[in-house]
């Protein structure tokens, strides 16, 4: 019997922390988890889950329009923001309860409170000093707001889920996942939306064709997407906010949302004093086995800033729990071919390499592109189009990237991700029978590669 109070003490009951705790407990470890805010972390409470509920809500506006072409007449429409927020919050509270039960049923002790690390084997929480053979830091991240004048007038994504009043005019600053998703949500729910991105094209890291396609579609829907736009400061005059741009222009709004990235939550955790090394951006440095510079202290999820995605934190948590208390997985956690979706409107999803990255790695490529009007819109009258792209390494015929913009892009690309992870070739895609009539069948019926006049420069 170990002389420690626990085999594993987890700080943070978000996606990664809960998964690691549960698996460790199932493998026989004595586990405690400390949480000072809410069970399920960012994703469940102020991230993926409520965001997706808002995305559903915002789609109705277009669906009422689309219905007319199919013979429906939809009467007077109105949207009530407080109802959406209240229903969303009730669902999140239900999920909080589920997360708590998952932990309790697995035999994990839950401690309400903020834990700090004392040393490699001790933490302090709620006035108690607790010892553990292993400590796991899974505290996640928080929104980053640049240090501009008037930043106190901006809201962050956390706030968007609890706004009391629905704003008529919204300025969204940033060009990442959160900015693009909220631009679509707020537009769909009826706001006038301006999105400002500092660089020449938003969604850096995604395939260039996909990025351009999305910008076009968002503008078609009436979102004022502006690139090369830097906000100097935010001013408040009366009830209005003004985003002052570096080109001298200003944009008036009722709400300014900053979605300019997230940083690791490592402040005031006692990490540095305990000897845990941090990167310049505050993230915890870990090795292949999620071990920090203090070997008994581990870290997973957004706090290590590798890939800030819930399923990655879940995978890292499982890998670590098995490594510590079961059989060490045969290989380090695999970050290759992680699919992801942006719940923009239309949605985007990608797996594998962008064309530019594939070009750098493999040289000669065959690129297949299909852009079309989805069947539904032949009657709905909507101008929205869909886009699909496959990137094939010419030498091996392997499909090394798949990218899509269009309805259910995430659902479709999740399936393709299996094939790509398995190393499927284009010939195997071609040998797969499509499901007709679907949009997804395009991915197995693209026959002619596009001809590029010049190779695309690397990103």
Could you list the active site residues? 436
Region binding ligand NDP by CB under 6 A among candidate stretches 3-11, 105-113, 271-279, 334-342? 334-342
Instruction: Pick the closer one to ligand NDP by CB: 61 or 145.
Output: 145
Q: Which letter, b or e, does each residue of 275-292 get, where b requires 16 or more Cβ atoms within 10 Å of its Cβ?
A: ebebeeebbbebeeebbb
Strands (E), 102-191: 109-112, 116-119, 122-125, 128-137, 141-143, 169-173
Determine the size of the site formed for ligand NDP (CB under 6 A): 23
Considering only residues 136 through 155, tell me which ones interact with ligand NDP, judged by CB under 6 A. Answer: 146
Residue window 81-110: x/- pattern of binding to ligand NDP, with contact defined by CB under 6 A: ------------------------------
**If you search the block for the tokens 């309805």, which residue do you land on?**
407
Is position 225 an interface residue for ligand NDP (rule: CB under 6 A)?
no
CB of 58 to ligand NDP, least distance (A): 15
Contact between 183 and ligand NDP by CB under 6 A: the answer reads: no
Count other Cβ atoms within 10 Å, centred on residue 458: 10
Residues 133 and 124: their CA atoms lie apart, in Å, by: 14
Classify 291 as helix, strand or coil. strand
Q: Provide, rounded to whole angstroms, the least separation between the CB of residue 121 and ligand NDP.
A: 32
Under the criterion CB under 6 A, does residue 342 sit at the interface with ligand NDP? yes
Q: Indicate which single residue of 259, 274, 286, 399 sits in contact with ligand NDP (rule: CB under 6 A).
A: 259
Contact between 41 and ligand NDP per CB under 6 A:
no
Judge contact between 302 and 141, C-beta under 8 A. yes
How far is 444 from 17, CA to CA, in rounded Å? 39
Measured distance CA(84)–CA(161) in Å, rounded: 10
Give the position of tokens 């540095």: 272
Site for ligand NDP in 302-331 (CB under 6 A): 308-309
Determine, following the binding rule CB under 6 A, whether residue 275 of this chain makes contact with ligand NDP: no
The answer to whether 198 contacts ligand NDP (rule: CB under 6 A) is: yes
Q: Given candidates 21, 229, 340, 380, which one binds ligand NDP under the rule CB under 6 A? A: 340
Determine how β-strand 31-35 pairs with β-strand 6-11: parallel
- Least Cβ distance, residue 341 to ligand NDP (angstroms): 5
44 is a contact residue toward ligand NDP (CB under 6 A): no
By CB under 6 A, residue 43 contacts ligand NDP: no
Beta pairing class for 192-196 and 109-112: unpaired
396: CB partners within 8 A, 6+ apart: 425
Which one, 264 or 309, has the nearer CB to ligand NDP? Answer: 309
The CB-of-290 to ligand NDP minimum distance in angstroms stands at 18
Say how far apart CA 67 and CA 376 lie, in whole Å: 10
- Is 178 a binding residue for ligand NDP by CB under 6 A? The answer is yes
Interface residue with ligand NDP among 341, 349, 351, 399 (CB under 6 A) is 341
342 or 400: whose CB is closer to ligand NDP? Answer: 342
- Does the footprint of ligand NDP cover residue 346 (CB under 6 A)? no
The single residue among 343, 368, 387, 443 that binds ligand NDP, judged by CB under 6 A, is 343
Dihedral over Cα of 163, 166, 170, 172: its sign = positive
Task: Provide DSSP, 78-101.
Answer: ---HHHHHHHHHHHHHHHHHHHHH
Residue from the set 16, 50, 176, 401 that interacts with ligand NDP by CB under 6 A? 176
DSSP string across 254-275: SEEEE---EEE--TTSSHHHHT
Pick from 165, 215, 170, 171: nearest CA to 196: 171
C-beta of residue 217 within 8 angstroms of C-beta of residue 346: yes
Question: Shortest approach of ligand NDP to residue 154 CB, angstroms?
Answer: 11
Q: Which residues are CB-neighbours of 209 under 8 A, at least 6 positions away?
A: 355, 369, 387, 389, 403
Question: Would you call 73 exposed, middle or buried from its count of C-beta atoms within 10 A (0-12, 13-18, 19+)?
Answer: exposed
- Residue 140: CB minimum distance to ligand NDP, A: 10
Q: How far is the CB of 72 from ligand NDP (least distance, A)?
A: 31
- Using Cβ positions, the residue closest to ligand NDP within the complex turns out to be 176
| Member of 120, 261, 270, 282 binding ligand NDP (CB under 6 A) | 261
Q: How far is the CB of 42 from ligand NDP (least distance, A)?
A: 8
Residues that bind ligand NDP (CB under 6 A): 146, 174-179, 181, 197-199, 202, 204, 259-262, 308-309, 340-343
């Amino acid at each position: 019997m170990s002389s420690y109070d626990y085999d594993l003490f987890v700080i943070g009951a978000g996606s990664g922390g809960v998964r690691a705790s549960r698996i460790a407990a199932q493998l026989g470890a004595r586990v405690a988890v400390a949480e000072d805010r809410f069970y399920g972390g960012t994703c469940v409470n102020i991230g993926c889950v409520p965001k997706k509920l808002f995305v559903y809500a915002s789609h109705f506006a277009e669906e009422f329009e689309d219905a007319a072409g199919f013979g429906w007449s939809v009467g007077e429409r109105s949207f009530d923001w407080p109802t959406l927020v209240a229903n969303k919050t009730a669902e999140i509270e239900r999920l909080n309860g589920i997360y708590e039960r998952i932990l309790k049923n697995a035999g994990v002790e839950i401690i309400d409170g903020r834990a700090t690390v004392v040393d490699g084997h001790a933490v302090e929480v709620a006035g108690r000093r607790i010892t553990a053979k292993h400590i796991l830091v899974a505290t996640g991240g928080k929104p980053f707001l640049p240090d501009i004048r008037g930043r106190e007038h901006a809201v962050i994504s956390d706030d968007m889920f609890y706004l009391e009043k629905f704003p008529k005019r919204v300025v969204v600053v940033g060009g990442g996942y959160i900015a693009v998703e909220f631009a679509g949500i707020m537009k769909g729910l009826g706001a006038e939306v301006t999105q400002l991105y500092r660089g020449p094209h938003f969604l850096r890291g995604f395939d260039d064709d996909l990025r351009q396609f999305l910008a076009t579609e968002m503008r078609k829907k009436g979102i004022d997407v502006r690139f090369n736009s830097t906000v100097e400061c935010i001013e408040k005059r009366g009830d209005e906010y003004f985003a002052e741009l570096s080109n001298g222009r200003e944009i008036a709004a009722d709400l300014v949302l900053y979605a300019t990235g997230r940083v690791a939550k490592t402040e005031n955790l006692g990490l540095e004093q305990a000897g845990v090394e941090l990167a310049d951006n505050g993230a915890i440095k870990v090795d292949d086995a999620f071990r920090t510079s203090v070997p008994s202290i581990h870290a997973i999820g957004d706090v290590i800033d590798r890939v800030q995605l819930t399923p990655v934190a879940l995978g890292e948590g499982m890998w670590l729990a098995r490594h510590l208390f079961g059989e060490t997985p045969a290989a380090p956690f695999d970050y290759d071919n992680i699919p992801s979706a942006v719940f923009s409107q239309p949605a985007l999803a990608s797996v594998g390499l962008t064309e530019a990255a594939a070009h750098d790695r493999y040289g000669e490529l065959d690129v297949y592109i299909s852009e079309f009007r989805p069947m539904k819109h032949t009657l709905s009258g909507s101008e929205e189009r869909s886009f699909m792209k496959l990137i094939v390494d010419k030498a091996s015929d392997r499909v090394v990237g798949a990218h899509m913009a269009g309805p259910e892009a995430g659902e479709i690309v999740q399936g393709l991700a299996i094939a790509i992870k398995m190393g499927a070739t284009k010939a195997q895609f071609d040998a797969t029978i499509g499901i007709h009539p679907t949009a997804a069948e395009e991915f197995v019926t693209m026959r002619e590669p596009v001809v590029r006049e010049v190779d695309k420069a690397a990103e």
